[in-house]
């Protein structure tokens, strides 16, 4: 039960999914993310995408979840 409480506060699962989806992210990159806007900026930077495309990719990935 305590594991579910921890996951509700810190969505560790989504962070591991980020690392699996975007292989250019290091563990420290993922740990440093504070919001979906941070994730969009990092995806944009690491994959040389324009902001609109990075936002679209992150929105599709997150599917309504928050970071």
What is this structure's pTM? 0.78
pLDDT for residue 65 is more than 60: yes
Contact indicator for 22, 35 with CB cutoff of 8 Å: no
Residue 39 near residue 67 (C-beta atoms within 8 A): yes
Q: What 3-state class would DSSP assign to 65?
A: coil
Summarised one tens digit per residue, pLDDT across range 29-52 is 999 999 999 999 999 999 999 999
* Structural domains present in the chain: 2-62 (1.10.1470.10)
Residues 6+ apart with CB under 8 A from 48: none
How many whole angstroms separate alpha carbon 15 and alpha carbon 13?
5
């Amino acid at each position: 039960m305590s594991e579910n409480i921890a996951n509700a506060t810190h969505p560790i699962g989504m962070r591991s999914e980020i690392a699996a989806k975007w292989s250019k992210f290091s563990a420290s990159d993922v740990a440093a993310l504070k919001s979906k806007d941070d994730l969009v900026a990092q995806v944009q930077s690491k994959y040389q995408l324009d902001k609109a495309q990075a936002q679209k990719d992150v929105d599709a990935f997150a599917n309504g979840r928050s970071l």
